[in-house]
């Protein structure tokens, strides 16, 4: 039996005052699938992730998660934008891990992870703290619960950010170059945690420059260039036998 479609991106386009960042991008991700997005700088990878959770509303097309339109509702003749509250509620079902960690500097690791379930879901504070301990354990940080971000390495901070995403029990998690801001010796500990999530059956979309990691962990690779989904397929095909000249040229540069 094929797993249900979690994420459906349909014909999404995005322009910023004349700059075309995305053109007619479609992408489907099924439950438990791990999709890696690769491509040159400026090809629209970050913009695609941000249109998925409506941090940047698409100018064309639409996104659904488990069949629910993100950011929009269908009216009789047109699509209408949801309220900010409704969009925030939808966004809380989609984990997002940024390149730059984005932790609250004045909160401990535990408080960073417990904050969203309390503020976004109304979870009781003690229960949220107990859950946060559990999630920090899963990313190997049981001994750093009370550390502030400045007391943690970049790799540890990014693992806190991953625990924070997990704390909202997301239906999918988006990663935007989660290891690009890290010193090289800290990359592997973060990739190992993401690999654990992949093996645990999480639905993940990962923008990454770590081609070897993508080959190992992804079920599917999407190559983007100039705002388009140029080609996608299993790692062995896209990385080993790309169909498109642009994919070959990119791989020749980075491999
Ligand atoms: P990538 O993540 O693949 O490096 P981006 O999605 O960041 O690419 O950018 C795609 C294109 O959209 C680039 O040309 C970039 O300059 C442009 N762009 C992205 N965000 C904005 C913005 N907020 N305002 C104007 N242009 C933007
Ligand atoms: Mg980017």
Show pLDDT as tens, one digit a residue, over the chain (255 residues): 789 999 999 999 999 998 999 999 999 999 999 999 999 999 999 999 999 999 999 999 999 999 999 999 999 998 899 999 999 999 999 999 999 988 999 999 999 999 999 998 999 999 999 999 999 999 999 999 999 999 999 999 999 999 999 999 999 999 999 999 999 999 999 999 999 999 999 999 999 999 999 999 999 999 999 999 999 999 999 999 999 999 999 999 998
Nearest ligand 1 atom, CA 47? 6
Position 236 scores a pLDDT of: 97
Q: Is 206 in the pocket of ligand 1 (CB under 6 A)?
A: no
Cα of 181 vs centre of ligand 1, distance in Å, is 18
Pick the residue whose CA is nearest to atom 20 on ligand 1. Answer: 47
175-207 pLDDT, tens digit per residue, is 999 999 999 999 999 999 999 999 999 999 999
Q: Is 180 in the pocket of ligand 1 (CB under 6 A)?
A: no
30-56 pLDDT, tens digit per residue, is 999 999 999 999 999 999 999 999 999
Q: Is 44 in the pocket of ligand 1 (CB under 6 A)?
A: yes
Nearest ligand 1 atom, CA 56? 23
Task: Establish whether this prediction's ipTM goes over 0.85.
Answer: yes
Per-residue HEC secondary structure of 49-92 comes to HHHHCCCCCCCEEEEEECCEECCEEECCCCEEECCHHHHHHHHC
Alpha-carbon distance 195 to 198, whole Å? 5
Torsion of CA 68, 72, 73, 77, to 10 degrees: -130
Q: Which ligand is nearest to the CA of 98?
A: 2
**Residues lying with their CB under 5 A of ligand 2, a single-atom ion:** 46
Alpha-carbon distance 142 to 137, whole Å? 5
Q: How many CA atoms lie within 13 A of 246 on its CB side?
A: 15
Cβ–Cβ under 8 Å, residues 26 and 51: no
């Amino acid at each position: 039996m094929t797993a249900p479609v979690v994420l459906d991106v349909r014909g999404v386009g995005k322009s910023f005052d004349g700059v075309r960042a995305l053109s007619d991008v479609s992408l489907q991700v099924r439950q438990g699938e791990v999709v890696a997005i690769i491509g040159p700088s400026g090809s629209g990878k970050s913009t695609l992730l941000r249109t998925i959770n409506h941090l940047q509303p698409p100018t064309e097309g639409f996104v659904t998660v488990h069949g629910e339109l993100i950011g929009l509702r269908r009216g009789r003749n047109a699509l209408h934008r949801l309220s900010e509250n409704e969009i925030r509620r939808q966004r809380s079902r989609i984990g997002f891990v940024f390149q730059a960690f984005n932790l609250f500097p004045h909160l401990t690791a535990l408080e960073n992870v417990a904050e969203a379930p309390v503020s976004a879901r109304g979870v009781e504070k003690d229960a949220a703290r107990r859950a946060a301990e559990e999630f920090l354990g899963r990313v190997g940080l049981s001994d750093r619960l009370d550390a502030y971000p400045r007391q943690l390495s970049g790799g540890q901070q990014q693992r806190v950010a991953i625990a924070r995403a997990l704390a909202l029990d997301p239906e999918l998690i988006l990663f935007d170059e989660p290891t690009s801001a890290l010193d090289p010796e800290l990359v592997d500990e973060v990739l190992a945690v993401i690999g654990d999530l992949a093996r645990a059956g999480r639905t993940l979309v990962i923008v990454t420059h770590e081609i070897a990691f993508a080959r190992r962990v992804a079920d599917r690779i999407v190559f983007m260039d100039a705002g388009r989904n140029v080609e996608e397929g299993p790692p062995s095909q896209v990385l080993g036998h790309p169909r498109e000249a642009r994919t070959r040229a990119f791989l020749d540069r980075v491999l």
